[in-house]
Structure 1
Amino acid sequence: MLLVTLMWSIAGVITRQLESARSFEVTFWRSFFTGLALAVYYAIAHGRDTPRLLRAGGRPLWISGLMWSVMFTCFMLALTLTTVANVLITMSVAPLLTALLARFMLGHPVATRTWAAIVVAGVGIAWMYGNSVSADGTHLLGTLVALGVPLAAAINWNTLQRSGGSVDLVPALLIGAFISSVITLPLSLPFRSTGHDVALLALLGVFQLAIPCVLAVRLSRSLAAPEISLLALLEIIFGIAWAWVGANEQPAPQVLAGGALVLGTLALNEAWGLRG
């Protein structure tokens, strides 16, 4: 899981090395190569059973695939609109949104500690964006787009929970990558990417998304959900560090302070859940 978070975290710094690819084209190429890598993996693992397994997943599988497509698309678009730190810290509230949504979708009670974590994390995010929003509206737009990732993640995990764990997430990832590619292709034309850009986005599609996502799905059978959530927070720390060192993208003081408040709150909440 530590390796998974390290692989996830390279998206921001590599995106900053692109020469001419922008916005929807960035999303298209990464999703395309993710889908290609997952299709090859699934064909090798299941061969002729692939169509049958896709049909067997039913409605939960396709809802999950749609949510993955939202996550894939919003994440890369947000990176082109605002800083890596803003995107990653906004995404980090996914466990809290998942717990909140579970109250309505599954009837699960929200623990007092989780309510407290939601309030404190909200204060931290407001602190982060209080100055940047007024200074540059693009950061606000990037934050709103990034918020689509934890919202879709919350719907995704609760849908899977309601299905009783009968859905294999790997084909859902494949469906998500395919939908994201189809939706963003018309918006990407005419292509402006150089060969350098396409190579970097292929690297992201295979090594930043396809491989670590498959590993994370397999690891979910061995690690408890709070443990995975706690370890996944390392992606934010790694990602901000990569962007700082590799792209000279230094977070503003209020982002560091607010982000520390959000991450500290999430870590305590998940650590308490793991202890329970």
Structure 2
Amino acid sequence: MMDPRREHLFGIIFVTAGAVTWSSAGFFTRLIALDYPTMIAGRGIFGAVGMLAIIIAFAPKTWTSQFRNMGWSDALYIVNYIFGTICYVSSLGQTSIAHNAVIFATLPFIAALLGFIFVRELPSREAIFASAIAMVGVVIMVGFSNDGALLGDILSFLGTASMAASIIIVRKYRSVNIAAGAVIASFTSGVIVLPFAELSAVTPTHLVYLVLFGLLNASAGLTLYSLGSRRLPPMETALISLIDTPLSPFWVWLAFGEKAGPQTLAGGLIVLFAVILHIFMSQRRQRLVVRLDPGRS
């Protein structure tokens, strides 16, 4: 039996790595500079190809069985992924980035609520405290703007709720085949927006960038995030995910020199502080639990 502290630490590492990988979306969007449907289609399709290659590499003789042996919980995971992707993509054109960021900051609280309802897991006091700090940081980052729209805000909320639901699904149903489900969901989401893509504008250079976008942002990000979410409570997974919010503009600034204002920097530092504080407190709590109950190690 694996040490609970080590299992918890692996969960933190995987989710953090997944969130860092996902935070490259803004970088790739600026780098590729194509219409959004084309980028989403490329990300989904090439991401699916990358994940399929990983599956075949690790199970060259039995990989097809992973797709044949899927159950209703796998179908639930796939449908939820596709639904969330469509909602999120649609919301980007209907409301402001500021509103999207603030709504995304509710992810830990939605995950905590769904976790209590479906998994019967109560969030720790440390997670609640750190989530509240992170929420303050995100609000400071984006400010309070009036440039959103009701439809876009609703779609953004549904996309955030879908992400929280994916955390609960892989946590509750351990039999879900994350890799195979991600291949189907990623490919399907890419195909859905393909009719709206401007494929004639894609150059060989764009194609290389789209492949990297799919492999790094979609394939690696989703795999790492899903593996980590199985090892952590829902609210903790969602909290660590918020590291994506300040890192996204950081990569754009680093690569393209787009400076962030003091409000963005201050809020981003608060979010990072909240995540690091929670990691420190949760690891300290894990060590205390093992000392009080050595049989759990």
TM range (shorter): 0.7 to 0.9
The equivalent of 2:292 in structure 1 is none
Cα 1:259/1:3, change in 2 over 3 Å: closer
Corresponding pairs, count: 269
The equivalent of 1:162 in structure 2 is 172
The equivalent of 2:251 in structure 1 is 242
Measured after TM superposition, the shift of residue 218 of structure 1 is 5.5
Measured after TM superposition, the shift of residue 254 of structure 1 is 2.8
Cα 1:108/1:220, change in 2 over 3 Å: closer
Give me the whole-angstrom Cα distance separating, in 1, the residues matched to 2:155 and 2:253.
22
- Counterparts of 1:122-141 in structure 2, within 5 Å, are 122-131=135-144, 133-134=145-146, 136-137=147-148
TM-score (norm 2): 0.70
The equivalent of 1:39 in structure 2 is 52
The equivalent of 1:151 in structure 2 is 161
Structure 2 residue 80 is matched with structure 1 residue 67: yes
Give me the whole-angstrom Cα distance separating, in 1, the residues matched to 2:238 and 2:121.
18
Whether the 8 Å CA contact 1:224–1:274 is kept in 2: the answer is: no
Structure 2 residue 65 is matched with structure 1 residue 52: yes
Cα 1:152/1:250, change in 2 over 3 Å: farther
From 111, 118, 137, the counterpart of 1:105: 118
Give me the whole-angstrom Cα distance separating, in 1, the residues matched to 2:152 and 2:206.
22
Measured after TM superposition, the shift of residue 250 of structure 1 is 2.6
Q: What is the root-mean-square deviation of aligned Cα atoms in Å?
A: 3.8
Deviates more, 1:101-110 or 1:252-261: 252-261
Give me the whole-angstrom Cα distance separating, in 2, the residues matched to 1:228 and 1:113.
13
The equivalent of 1:174 in structure 2 is 183
SS of structure 2 residue aligned to 1:249:
coil
Give me the whole-angstrom Cα distance separating, in 2, the residues matched to 1:130 and 1:239.
17
Measured after TM superposition, the shift of residue 120 of structure 1 is 4.3
TM-score (norm 1): 0.75
Residue segments in structure 1 that go unaligned for 5+ positions in a row: none
How many percent of aligned residue pairs carry the same amino acid? Answer: 23
The equivalent of 1:13 in structure 2 is 27
SS of structure 2 residue aligned to 1:250:
coil
From 273, 280, 283, the counterpart of 1:274: 283
Deviates more, 1:206-215 or 1:149-158: 206-215
Measured after TM superposition, the shift of residue 15 of structure 1 is 1.3
Cα 1:141/1:124, change in 2 over 3 Å: farther
SS of structure 2 residue aligned to 1:180:
helix
Cα 1:29/1:82, change in 2 over 3 Å: farther
